[in-house]
């Protein structure tokens, strides 16, 4: 029996990038770990600093404006929001083939410190402990590059052996040579990191750059992970 047969026998999801062009729905928002849906379908999570463009990127990827709520003000997303392809009841045996999780940002929020600490703890607990989490897409604002709190998240993911892939966001805000320079510098940084995926995806939700590449990367992560 070859590897692909093994995968099929184990009920592994075979996800194709076209899944993102079908309708998706909001399944649930979890304000704390105890409200998470039971572990089932493979998941990918979008993580990153507040305002980096996580929710915007999910909308651009799935081509559904307003599916994930976005805002000019950092701290918009306050729960772990689960999105799944439409048309599954959620009952045993009729589970969606995968889920995408939009996470609260870290690093800044116009909220009391206790609230920010609680979100950060939930984000870290989820990233560290979710068995069905196949890959974390770690979003980095192309204007700012990797910051100290991004490094803390990478340290945690390296330590927990959770695969992650860096996605540059808002590349429409900088010139193409600056994108190339940042890609090279970031690639060099990632070489030292145990759980980092070597390829970086450069995106703009506003202009649609990098969407097909990101769809491919997610489909592969869910299928192979
Ligand atoms: N120019 C440009 N602006 C973008 C892009 N993506 C997001 N934005 C803007 O960045 C701001 C933040 O976007 P969100 O998607 O809400 O960011 P988020 O990471 O989900 O933020 P939190 O939920 O607060 O952590 C919004 O004003 C978006 O319009 C992009 O590709 N290009
Ligand atoms: Mg958000």
Structural domain contains residue 1: no
Structural domain contains residue 4: no
Cβ of 77 below 6 Å from ligand 1: yes
More confident of the two residues 222 and 73: 222
Structural domain span for residue 207: 12-224
pTM of the predicted protein model:
0.93
Calculate how far, in angstroms, residue 144's C-alpha sits from the geometric centre of ligand 1: 14
Calculate how far, in angstroms, residue 54's C-alpha sits from the geometric centre of ligand 2: 5
**Based on the structure, what is the number of domains in the chain?**
1
Calculate how far, in angstroms, residue 92's C-alpha sits from the geometric centre of ligand 2: 30
Structural domain contains residue 6: no
Cβ of 49 below 6 Å from ligand 1: no
Confidence band for 12, pLDDT divided at 50, 70 and 90: low
Q: For 64-74, what is the mean pLDDT? A: 87
Nearest-atom index, ligand 1, CA of 71: 16
Structural domain contains residue 60: yes
Cβ of 70 below 6 Å from ligand 1: yes
Give the residue whose CA is nearest to atom 11 of ligand 1.
Answer: 72
Structural domain contains residue 7: no
User: pLDDT digit string (tens) for 159-185?
Assistant: 999 999 999 999 999 999 999 999 999
Calculate how far, in angstroms, residue 73's C-alpha sits from the geometric centre of ligand 1: 9
Report pLDDT for 8: 43
Structural domain contains residue 132: yes
Q: What is the average pLDDT value for the chain, to the nearest integer?
A: 90
User: pLDDT digit string (tens) for 18-48?
Assistant: 999 999 999 999 988 999 999 999 999 999 9
Six-digit token pair at 216? 């491919």
Structural domain contains residue 50: yes
SS3 of 107-153: the string is CCCCCCHHHHHHHHHHHHHHHHHCCCEEEEEEEEECCCCCCHHHHHH
**Within 13 Å of residue 196, how many CA atoms lie on the same side as its CB?**
22
CATH code for the domain of 174: 3.40.50.300
Q: For 202-219, what is the mean pLDDT? A: 98
Would the pLDDT of 10 be above 60?
no
Q: Considering every ligand atom, which ligand is closest to the CA of 116?
A: 1
Would the pLDDT of 120 be above 90?
no
Structural domain contains residue 53: yes
Task: List, in sequence order, every residue forming a beta bridge with 205; answer none if it has no partner.
Answer: none
The interface pTM score, or ipTM, of the predicted complex is 0.99
Residues with CB under 5 A from ligand 2 (ion): 54-55, 76-77
Confidence band for 65, pLDDT divided at 50, 70 and 90: confident
Would the pLDDT of 9 be above 70?
no
Cβ of 169 below 6 Å from ligand 1: yes
């Amino acid at each position: 029996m070859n590897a692909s047969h093994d995968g099929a026998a184990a009920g592994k999801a075979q996800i194709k990038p076209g899944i993102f062009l079908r309708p998706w729905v909001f399944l649930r928002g979890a304000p704390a770990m105890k409200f998470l849906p039971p572990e089932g379908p493979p998941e990918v999570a979008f993580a990153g600093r507040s305002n980096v463009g996580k929710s915007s990127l999910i909308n651009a990827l799935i081509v559904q404006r307003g599916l994930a709520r976005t805002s000019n003000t950092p701290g918009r997303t306050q729960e772990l929001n689960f999105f799944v392809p439409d048309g599954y009841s959620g009952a045993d045996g009729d589970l969606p083939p995968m889920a995408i999780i939009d996470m609260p940002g870290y690093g800044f929020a116009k909220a009391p410190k206790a609230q920010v600490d609680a979100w950060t703890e939930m984000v870290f607990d989820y990233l560290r402990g979710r068995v069905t989490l196949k890959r974390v897409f770690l979003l980095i604002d192309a204007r700012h590059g990797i910051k100290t709190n991004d490094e803390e998240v990478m340290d945690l993911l390296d330590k927990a052996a959770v695969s992650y892939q860096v996605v540059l966001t808002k590349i429409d805000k900088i010139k193409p040579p600056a994108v190339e320079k940042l890609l090279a510098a970031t690639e060099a940084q990632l070489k030292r990191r145990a759980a980092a995926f070597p390829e970086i995806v450069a995106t703009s939700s506003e202009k649609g750059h990098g969407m097909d590449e990101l769809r491919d990367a997610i489909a592969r992560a869910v299928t192979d992970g």
